[in-house]
Amino acid sequence: MNQDKAPLYEALEKHRSDRIVHFDVPGHKGGRGNKELTDFLGEKCLKADVNSMKPLDNLSHPESVIKEAQQLAANAFGAHNCFFIVNGTTAAVQAMVMSACMEGEKILMPRNVHISAINALVLSGAIPVYIDPGIDNRLGIALGMSITDIKKAIEENPDAKAILVNNPTYYGICSNLKEIVELAHSHRMLVLVDEAHGTHFYFGDNMPVSAMKAGADMASVSMHKTGGSLTQSSLLLCGENINCDYVRQIIGLTQTTSASYLLLTSLDLARKNLSLNGREIFSKTIKLAEYARKEINILGGYYAFSNELVNNDNVYDFDRTKLSINTRQIGLAGIEVYDILRDDYGIQVEFGDLCNILAVITAGDRAMEIERLISALYEIKRLYAKDPVDILNHNYIKPDLVCRPQKAFFSKKKIMPIKDSKGKISGEFVMAYPPGIPILAPGERITDEIIDYITFAKDKGSNLMGTQDMKVENILVVEG
């Protein structure tokens, strides 16, 4: 297929040039109805914010330019089919899980999944079988899944319908995806890949294997993270053994019927750009990340880790575009470094957890900005470093799953202080965002370790959420 084309973008440009008189929504009428918004975003942007119509197709039932744009994306990513998603990769992950599993059916997954995957369990009634990821105690992070652990889980749960894999994790850790696919398929299980942070695997040289190339059945891809599209735009890729008509119906359960043409067009143009220029784009990205990693490690105290972690087991490969930096040896939690970078140095990194920060590097960064980050980290170490004795050494707590997430979430519940909730079954989520991996999910037993972790995370300034109590001091627990 001709990847030079951008059919949705071209149709939208023609629509704007046709000077159509609009008696439809949106009500800002190309920006004329809201001057302040137009001044902020620009007249060209507001005129492209239109509703579905015949010349521009309809995302819920694509037959022309959206269909063609999705076919081009499928071709570019090596997929059998592709769906444009405008509800974020959250909607793509939920569509994967809900397409693969019905109520009461099992799905194998690591517990360090994004909250969207567990939300899908709440919506569908599927039963999770958690496979503990490996733990790197020096870095305080969960790793990938061991093939040995996956084999054991499959043997103990031969009736499972699918396995969900994070690839890569937020920190850049990759599992042995090709062997996972072969193993799962040999037991008639689908392989679903949360590839939110792996758009570049499809276009860069010497990258970890992509989900579609590994033979996975479905993959959710956050084009907006490293692919250059607008925030909230994503792709759901499907292999040849997936009933895509059914998947489209599942997507329709949660995706808006008022799809943003700004988001859709950004996906079309981002795909075109990656297809034509992806190798150059991600070659530059890796050079910037590798330079930053080398210079940060020279500072001492920090550890910007990379593919030296690869052990051909629970770290099968590493995404070198990720600039993940461990901060424990300077005696500061990652979230503390995150806050200082933003508040004192005007530098916004992706996130800070209790042990690490993550700086997302793309070809849109400049060498001078990399130097500014390195200099700021040097200054933070010089001014704030202390004894690391009080820093926790992990970001993963093995869950004790007592009942299905759906049952716990919709059960009769009562509220109580988190500090007094030991032994109770959680009826809601507690998580730090980003990265959006739940510390506690519905149906899991609350332990002293979980309470201590929540307390420590709050004290260090982590942005905790998920509970009805906006202060995250109280929690809803299952009655009885």
Fold observed for domain 279-390: Aspartate Aminotransferase, domain 1 (3.90.1150)
**DSSP character string of 419-454:** GG-TTPBBSS-EEETTTTEEEE-TTBBP-HHHHHHH
Tokens matching residue 382: 């010089």
| Residues sharing a CB contact under 8 Å with residue 107, sequence separation 6 or more, in sequence order | 97, 100, 101, 121, 126, 127, 128, 129, 160, 161, 162, 163, 164
238: which strand partners? 81, 218
| Residues sharing a CB contact under 8 Å with residue 254, sequence separation 6 or more, in sequence order | 87, 91, 94, 95, 123
Helix H or strand E segment including 13: helix 7-17
Tokens matching residue 113: 């999944």
What's residue 406's pLDDT? 97
pLDDT in tens, the chain (480 residues): 899 999 999 999 999 888 889 999 999 999 999 999 999 999 999 999 999 999 999 999 999 999 999 999 999 999 999 999 999 999 999 999 999 999 999 999 999 999 999 999 999 999 999 998 988 988 989 999 999 999 999 999 999 999 999 999 999 999 999 999 999 999 999 999 999 999 999 999 999 999 999 999 999 999 999 999 999 999 999 999 999 999 999 999 999 999 999 999 999 999 999 999 999 999 999 999 999 999 999 999 999 999 999 999 999 999 999 999 999 999 999 999 999 999 999 999 999 998 999 999 998 999 999 999 999 999 999 999 998 866 666 667 889 999 999 999 999 999 999 999 999 999 999 998 878 889 999 999 999 999 999 998 898 888 999 999 999 999 999 997
Residue 147: φ, ψ to 5°:
-60, -35
Short-list 70, 86, 473, CA closest to 259: 86
**DSSP 8-state secondary structure symbol assigned to residue 222:** -
Q: For residue 89, give Cα distances in angstroms to 94, 193, 198, 221, 259.
A: 8, 12, 12, 7, 15
CATH 3.90.1150.10 residue ranges for the chain:
279-390
What's residue 394's pLDDT? 65
405-478 has which CATH code? 3.90.105.10
Q: Rounded distance, CA 355 to CA 336, Å?
A: 10
CATH 3.40.640.10 residue ranges for the chain:
7-274
What's residue 146's pLDDT? 95
Is residue 323 a contact partner of residue 361, using CB atoms and an 8 Å limit?
Answer: yes
- Cα 45 from chain centroid? 27
Tokens matching residue 70: 């999705």
Fold observed for domain 7-274: Aspartate Aminotransferase; domain 2 (3.40.640)
Q: Rounded distance, CA 318 to CA 321, Å?
A: 9
CA atoms within 13 A on the CB side of 333: 21
